[in-house]
Chain A
Amino acid sequence: MFWKSTYNEFIKIAAKPRSYIGIAAITLIVGIILFAMRLDGMMYISFITAPFEQSLSFEGNILNGNLMAFIILQMLIIHIPLLIAFVTGDLISGEGAMGTIRLLLTKPISRTSILLSKYLAGCAYTLVVLLWMGFMAIFIGKLLFGTGDLMVLKSDGLIILQESDISWRFLYGFVVAYLALVMIATLSLTLSCFSENSIGPIVSTMGIIILFTIIGTLDVPMFDHIRPYLFTTHMAAWRSFFEDPLPIEQITQSIVVLLVHIVSLLGIAIYKFNKKDILS
């Protein structure tokens, strides 16, 4: 019954036009990035390598598919959560707004199971979006720009990884990025349990992400103590797989922080959904 309910929830997500906005947006954004890089990519690269350019010269295919995938990932991984929240923030409150939640709860299945099946369907949707982004970034990127070593762009230096050493990093990076997006899905689902309309949880999730991202990006010493506790800081943990040597401790810490967030928020969501008065 639980899996059937999960399947039904996924079908519901697939039937909503808004679910395709994220995929369409990714397609458009990645298309624009690839087009722009094809035209002016070397300008972007020269901006990065400028501090070395006076005395050193970079040879080889720098502007390749691996770099494209990395650039696209780092640009989109901040914005994709907003597209995920657009769908997962609507899972409970959307039913409330449409008045279908009362009917849903008459099913011979516990409220917890209903919530978890919605959650699993949301996670499956998140996976589809991430896989689509991966396909666009890696496969289309490599198709247009070829392959080669990856120049990892960091704010305080460059790491050049050899082509044979990249695939596993992308794989693990995607797994951690998925965990981060699942965390966002959990947050928006939890907020959704507190609301009777769709807009509230979606906008709240976006607001939290934007606020935390700004705090995380600002180089102000007073935020140094707060930053490690923000989930947005750990959402970028996928980048750590492109470090050399691999910061295992930092990656583990980020995974733990994200898992703690997921479990805590899911616990709150289950509690709230079980206690929720269904008035519509």
Chain B
Amino acid sequence: MKNKVYIIIFFVLISFANSLFSQTKSAKQILNAVYSKMMVAKDYSVQANIKVDLPFVKMLPIDAKIYFKQKDKFKVESKSIAIVPRQGFDQITKMLNDTSGFDALISGEELIAGSQATIINVIPQSDTSDLILGKLWIDVKKNVVLKSQLTTKSNGTILTEYTYGSQLSYGLPDMMTFTVDVKKFKIPKGVTADINNTKTSVDDKKKDNKKGKIFIKLTNYQINKGIPDTVFKK
């Protein structure tokens, strides 16, 4: 009788470990498929319309040109002053580049804009990795990332939502919406000589750390036309 109980427990543990292993494998397979789709576009340039909605910044939407070359060359070219997220364009490809460098785990499913998304958590194996935690919402049928939330040591947490259209076959979005945390902005009046700003400290308290959004509309993709490295030099 005792032996039978041990045998049952043994098989339960084996099946649990097996299911856990197969889930991890499955998550990596999904990520590999997404990465393979991303790698089809070796380089691209695209016209971007950037609209900024940050708590302490006022500016009109501006036009810019974005250049990207696998795996991590990225440049924004603009005559105007443009504010763009530090991560978002190349962070996912950089992250997925080394599949042995992270563990991936499916943590559920969610409906995003009518598409069923599989949620995959990405945890780096190295303590020295800049990435702390990645969470990707992936459309498994189309092999594209619908939403990502990347927390890095250097750039904090950025939530990105992707909308696809004309370049779905390359896994390139038509619209990206970034949600970022913005620290409270306060510069001494002595630096800005802003002496007629008579807002009291009560007004300032309303403006503690807040979330801001950046909307980037991407049009006129030029994919795999070849971009020289000199373009990315500052």
Contact = CB atoms under 8 A, between A and B. Distances in A.
A256 interface: no
Interface in B55-85: 55-60, 62, 64, 76-85
* Dominant secondary structure at the A interface: mixed
Contact of A224 (B79, B157, B190, B198): B198
B195 A244 contact: no
A77 to B, nearest CB: 7
Given A59-B64, A59-B76, A60-B82, A157 B57 contact: yes
A220 to B, nearest CB: 10
A51 B195 contact: no
B193 A78 contact: yes
Given A58-B83, A158-B57, A74 B192 contact: yes
B193 A160 contact: no
Interface in B152-202: 154-158, 180-201
Contact of A59 (B57, B81, B187, B197): B81
B189 A217 contact: yes
B80 A77 contact: no
Contacts of B142: none
Given A56-B180, A77-B193, A227 B198 contact: yes
Interface stretch (A19-27, A91-99, A124-132, A230-238): A230-238
A156 B158 contact: no
Interface string A148-171: 110101111111111100000000
Contact of A156 (B56, B78, B80, B190): B56
A55 B80 contact: no
Contacts of A240: 196
Given A55-B180, A77-B193, A213-B195, A155 B81 contact: no
Contact of B207 (A48, A156, A161, A234): A156
Given A158-B57, A158-B58, A58 B82 contact: yes
A75 B191 CA distance: 9
B83 A52 contact: yes
A239 B194 CA distance: 8
B81 to A, nearest CB: 4
A251 to B, nearest CB: 10
Given A221-B200, A227-B198, A239-B194, A48 B85 contact: no
A106 interface: no
**Best-surrounded residue of B60, B64, B157, B203 (most CB of chain A within 10 A):** B60
A47 B187 CA distance: 9
B204 interface: yes
A56 B84 contact: yes
Contacts of A78: 193, 195
Nearest to A149: B81
Contacts of B158: 55
Interface in A184-232: 213, 216-217, 219, 221, 224, 227-228, 232
Given A155-B194, A156-B207, A56 B83 contact: yes
Contact of B195 (A56, A58, A159, A216): A216
Nearest to A254: B196
B82 A233 contact: no
6 contacts: A52-B57, A54-B183, A155-B186, A156-B204, A158-B57, A224-B198
- Nearest 6 pairs of A and B residues by beta carbon: A160-B59, A74-B193, A157-B56, A236-B196, A60-B81, A59-B82
Given A216-B196, A217-B190, A224-B200, 9 more contacts: A51-B56, A51-B184, A51-B185, A51-B186, A55-B182, A154-B194, A155-B187, A155-B192, A155-B197
Interface of A: 47-48, 51-52, 54-62, 74-75, 77-78, 148-149, 151, 153-163, 213, 216-217, 219, 221, 224, 227-228, 232-234, 236-237, 239-240, 244, 254
